[in-house]
Amino acid sequence: MSTAAQASTISQPRFAGNSEASRSGIWVAVFAITMSFAALTSALYVRQGSSDWSHIVVPPILYLNTLALLLSSLTMEIARRAKVRDLELTPSSLASPLAWLAATLALGMAFVAGQFFAWRQLAAQGLFLATNPNSSFLYVLTGLHAIHVLAGIAALVFLLGLMAGSHLTFRRHLLDNTAVYWHFMALLWLYLLFVIRTRL
Protein backbone atom coordinates (compact mmCIF):
# COMPACT_ATOMS: atom_id res chain seq x y z
CA MET A 1 0.00 0.00 0.00
CA SER A 2 1.46 3.39 -0.93
CA THR A 3 2.04 5.85 1.85
CA ALA A 4 -0.56 8.23 0.45
CA ALA A 5 -3.18 5.53 0.55
CA GLN A 6 -2.06 4.50 4.02
CA ALA A 7 -2.41 8.08 5.20
CA SER A 8 -5.88 8.44 3.74
CA THR A 9 -7.17 5.42 5.63
CA ILE A 10 -6.43 7.13 8.93
CA SER A 11 -9.73 8.78 9.75
CA GLN A 12 -8.98 11.13 12.61
CA PRO A 13 -5.21 11.23 12.99
CA ARG A 14 -4.29 12.97 16.19
CA PHE A 15 -1.14 14.50 14.94
CA ALA A 16 -1.73 15.03 11.30
CA GLY A 17 -0.14 17.87 9.55
CA ASN A 18 2.40 18.28 6.86
CA SER A 19 5.77 16.91 7.92
CA GLU A 20 7.63 19.42 5.76
CA ALA A 21 5.87 22.25 7.53
CA SER A 22 6.85 21.05 10.96
CA ARG A 23 10.46 20.79 9.87
CA SER A 24 10.32 24.40 8.64
CA GLY A 25 8.61 25.28 11.88
CA ILE A 26 11.34 23.91 14.11
CA TRP A 27 14.07 25.68 12.16
CA VAL A 28 12.14 28.94 12.35
CA ALA A 29 11.85 28.47 16.10
CA VAL A 30 15.60 27.77 16.34
CA PHE A 31 16.25 30.97 14.40
CA ALA A 32 14.03 33.05 16.66
CA ILE A 33 15.61 31.69 19.84
CA THR A 34 19.06 32.39 18.37
CA MET A 35 17.99 35.96 17.75
CA SER A 36 16.89 36.36 21.36
CA PHE A 37 20.20 35.16 22.68
CA ALA A 38 21.99 37.38 20.18
CA ALA A 39 20.13 40.33 21.69
CA LEU A 40 21.20 39.25 25.17
CA THR A 41 24.79 38.88 23.98
CA SER A 42 24.80 42.41 22.62
CA ALA A 43 23.33 43.62 25.90
CA LEU A 44 26.22 41.88 27.65
CA TYR A 45 28.77 43.58 25.42
CA VAL A 46 27.30 46.99 26.14
CA ARG A 47 27.06 46.36 29.85
CA GLN A 48 30.61 45.08 29.94
CA GLY A 49 31.80 48.59 29.20
CA SER A 50 30.76 49.91 32.60
CA SER A 51 33.23 50.34 35.40
CA ASP A 52 31.42 47.96 37.76
CA TRP A 53 32.05 44.94 35.54
CA SER A 54 33.80 42.31 37.61
CA HIS A 55 34.59 38.63 37.24
CA ILE A 56 32.93 35.41 38.30
CA VAL A 57 34.65 32.09 38.77
CA VAL A 58 32.48 29.57 36.98
CA PRO A 59 31.18 26.86 39.32
CA PRO A 60 32.93 23.68 38.12
CA ILE A 61 29.67 21.73 38.07
CA LEU A 62 28.82 23.61 34.89
CA TYR A 63 31.36 21.49 33.06
CA LEU A 64 29.76 18.32 34.36
CA ASN A 65 26.39 19.60 33.23
CA THR A 66 27.87 20.33 29.83
CA LEU A 67 29.05 16.76 29.58
CA ALA A 68 25.58 15.51 30.48
CA LEU A 69 23.99 17.69 27.82
CA LEU A 70 26.47 16.67 25.13
CA LEU A 71 25.95 13.01 26.00
CA SER A 72 22.22 13.52 25.80
CA SER A 73 22.69 14.91 22.31
CA LEU A 74 24.54 11.75 21.40
CA THR A 75 21.81 9.50 22.79
CA MET A 76 19.21 11.62 21.01
CA GLU A 77 20.94 11.15 17.71
CA ILE A 78 21.26 7.40 18.23
CA ALA A 79 17.54 7.23 19.01
CA ARG A 80 16.79 9.19 15.86
CA ARG A 81 18.84 7.01 13.61
CA ALA A 82 17.53 3.74 15.00
CA LYS A 83 16.01 1.70 12.28
CA VAL A 84 12.34 2.46 11.76
CA ARG A 85 9.96 1.60 9.02
CA ASP A 86 9.10 4.42 6.60
CA LEU A 87 6.94 7.12 8.11
CA GLU A 88 5.63 5.30 11.09
CA LEU A 89 7.07 3.88 14.24
CA THR A 90 5.10 0.89 15.46
CA PRO A 91 5.55 -0.76 18.83
CA SER A 92 7.66 -3.70 17.73
CA SER A 93 10.36 -1.59 16.20
CA LEU A 94 10.48 0.81 19.10
CA ALA A 95 12.45 -0.97 21.76
CA SER A 96 15.74 0.41 20.61
CA PRO A 97 14.89 4.08 20.12
CA LEU A 98 12.71 4.02 23.25
CA ALA A 99 15.67 3.20 25.47
CA TRP A 100 17.92 5.82 23.91
CA LEU A 101 15.21 8.45 24.20
CA ALA A 102 14.74 7.59 27.84
CA ALA A 103 18.49 8.03 28.32
CA THR A 104 18.27 11.42 26.61
CA LEU A 105 15.49 12.43 28.95
CA ALA A 106 17.45 11.31 31.99
CA LEU A 107 20.57 13.16 30.90
CA GLY A 108 18.51 16.25 30.09
CA MET A 109 16.94 16.22 33.51
CA ALA A 110 20.37 15.72 35.04
CA PHE A 111 21.53 18.81 33.17
CA VAL A 112 18.71 20.95 34.54
CA ALA A 113 19.20 19.57 38.04
CA GLY A 114 22.89 20.33 37.70
CA GLN A 115 22.12 23.91 36.71
CA PHE A 116 19.97 24.29 39.83
CA PHE A 117 22.92 22.98 41.81
CA ALA A 118 25.19 25.53 40.14
CA TRP A 119 22.82 28.32 41.15
CA ARG A 120 22.85 27.08 44.75
CA GLN A 121 26.65 27.14 44.65
CA LEU A 122 26.62 30.71 43.34
CA ALA A 123 24.19 31.75 46.05
CA ALA A 124 26.44 30.20 48.66
CA GLN A 125 29.22 32.46 47.38
CA GLY A 126 26.93 35.42 47.83
CA LEU A 127 26.27 35.81 44.11
CA PHE A 128 22.61 36.44 43.48
CA LEU A 129 20.72 37.82 40.51
CA ALA A 130 21.29 41.48 41.38
CA THR A 131 24.69 41.21 43.11
CA ASN A 132 26.69 42.52 40.19
CA PRO A 133 26.22 42.73 36.42
CA ASN A 134 28.20 39.55 35.84
CA SER A 135 26.00 37.53 38.15
CA SER A 136 22.91 39.08 36.57
CA PHE A 137 23.94 37.86 33.16
CA LEU A 138 25.00 34.48 34.44
CA TYR A 139 21.61 33.85 35.99
CA VAL A 140 19.69 35.30 33.04
CA LEU A 141 21.59 33.36 30.39
CA THR A 142 21.62 30.04 32.22
CA GLY A 143 18.06 30.52 33.44
CA LEU A 144 16.61 31.27 30.02
CA HIS A 145 18.55 28.40 28.50
CA ALA A 146 17.25 26.05 31.20
CA ILE A 147 13.67 27.14 30.50
CA HIS A 148 14.14 26.27 26.84
CA VAL A 149 15.69 22.92 27.80
CA LEU A 150 12.64 22.25 29.95
CA ALA A 151 10.50 22.79 26.87
CA GLY A 152 12.64 20.20 25.12
CA ILE A 153 12.21 17.87 28.07
CA ALA A 154 8.45 18.29 27.83
CA ALA A 155 8.67 17.32 24.17
CA LEU A 156 10.73 14.25 25.08
CA VAL A 157 8.22 13.18 27.73
CA PHE A 158 5.45 13.60 25.20
CA LEU A 159 7.33 11.59 22.59
CA LEU A 160 8.10 8.83 25.05
CA GLY A 161 4.45 8.74 26.04
CA LEU A 162 3.46 8.26 22.41
CA MET A 163 6.02 5.60 21.77
CA ALA A 164 5.21 3.67 24.91
CA GLY A 165 1.48 3.70 24.18
CA SER A 166 1.03 0.78 21.85
CA HIS A 167 -2.24 1.81 20.25
CA LEU A 168 -0.89 4.80 18.43
CA THR A 169 1.25 5.36 15.44
CA PHE A 170 2.69 8.72 14.63
CA ARG A 171 4.85 10.54 12.20
CA ARG A 172 8.59 10.24 12.00
CA HIS A 173 9.01 13.98 11.81
CA LEU A 174 8.11 14.43 15.49
CA LEU A 175 11.25 12.53 16.44
CA ASP A 176 13.36 14.36 13.88
CA ASN A 177 12.18 17.77 14.95
CA THR A 178 12.65 17.07 18.64
CA ALA A 179 16.19 15.99 17.77
CA VAL A 180 16.85 19.24 15.90
CA TYR A 181 15.64 21.25 18.87
CA TRP A 182 17.59 19.13 21.33
CA HIS A 183 20.86 19.43 19.40
CA PHE A 184 20.25 23.16 19.18
CA MET A 185 19.95 23.28 22.97
CA ALA A 186 23.38 21.65 23.25
CA LEU A 187 24.96 23.96 20.65
CA LEU A 188 23.39 27.00 22.31
CA TRP A 189 24.75 25.84 25.64
CA LEU A 190 28.27 25.48 24.23
CA TYR A 191 28.02 29.04 22.93
CA LEU A 192 26.71 30.34 26.26
CA LEU A 193 29.42 28.49 28.17
CA PHE A 194 32.00 30.10 25.92
CA VAL A 195 30.54 33.55 26.59
CA ILE A 196 30.33 32.87 30.31
CA ARG A 197 33.89 31.63 30.51
CA THR A 198 35.45 34.38 28.42
CA ARG A 199 33.28 37.37 29.36
CA LEU A 200 31.86 36.82 32.81
Partner 1 sequence: MEQTPVQASHVHAPPQGFLRKYVFSLDHKMIGKQYYGLALIAVFTGMALSWLMRFHLVWPDAKIPLLGSLAKTGAPGGVITPEYYLSLLTMHGTLMVFFVLTNAPFAGFGNYFLPIQIGAEDMAFPRFNMMSFWTTFLAFLVLIAAFFIPDGPPISGWTAYAPLSAIGKDAGPGLGWGQNLWAISIALFCVGQLLGSLNFIATTLDLRAKGMTLMRMPICTWAWFITSCIGLLAFAVLLPACLLLILDKTAGTSFFIPSGLVVSDRLQPHAGGSPLLWQHLFWFFGHPEVYIAILPAMGIVSHVLVTSMRKPLLSAKVIIYSMISIGFLSYMVWGHHMFVSGMNPFSSLLFSFPTLTITIPATIMTLIWLGSLYGANIRITAASLFALGFVSMFVSGGVSGFFLAQPSIDIYLHATYFVVGHFHMVMGVAAIFGILSGTYFWFPKMTGRMMNETLGKLHFWITFIGTYCIFMPFHYLGMVGNVRRLASFVNDFMPPLMPVHKFVTIAALITGAGQFIFLYNLIHSRFRGAPATENPWEGTSLEWTIPSPPPWNNFGDRPVVVYHDAHQIGVKGSKGDFVMQDSPEQLPAT
* Rounded Cα gap, residues 189 and 146, in angstroms: 9
List the one residue out of 184, 189, 197 whose CA is nearest residue 30: 184
Give yes or no for residue 124 binding partner 1 (CB under 8 A): no
Name residue 109's amino acid. M
To the nearest 5 percent, what fractions of the chain are helix, strand and coil? 75, 0, 25
Among 1, 32, 57, 124, binds partner 1 (CB under 8 A): 32
Contact range with partner 1 by CB under 8 A, out of 7-15, 91-99, 112-120, 181-189: 7-15
* Rounded Cα gap, residues 30 and 180, in angstroms: 9
Contact range with partner 1 by CB under 8 A, out of 32-40, 70-78, 98-106, 113-121: 32-40
Main-chain dihedrals φ then ψ at residue 88, nearest 5 degrees? -110, 150
Contact range with partner 1 by CB under 8 A, out of 34-42, 73-81, 152-160, 183-191: 34-42
Say how many C-beta atoms besides its own lie within 10 A of residue 190's C-beta: 13
Binding mask 171-200 for partner 1 (x = CB under 8 A): ------------------------------
Contact 43/136 with Cβ under 8 angstroms? no
Give yes or no for residue 1 binding partner 1 (CB under 8 A): no
Contact range with partner 1 by CB under 8 A, out of 40-48, 62-70, 108-116, 148-156: 40-48
Q: Can you say whether residue 167 is alpha, beta or left, with left for phi > 0 and alpha for psi between -120 and 50 degrees?
A: alpha
Among 1, 46, 57, 124, binds partner 1 (CB under 8 A): 46
Among 52, 57, 124, 167, binds partner 1 (CB under 8 A): 52
Give yes or no for residue 3 binding partner 1 (CB under 8 A): yes
Give yes or no for residue 95 binding partner 1 (CB under 8 A): no
Contact 155/76 with Cβ under 8 angstroms? no
Among 1, 50, 83, 198, binds partner 1 (CB under 8 A): 50
* Rounded Cα gap, residues 182 and 148, in angstroms: 10
| Contact positions vs partner 1 (CB under 8 A) | 2-4, 7-8, 10, 12-13, 16-22, 24-25, 28-29, 31-33, 35-40, 42-43, 46-47, 49-53, 86-87, 129-130, 133, 136, 140, 144
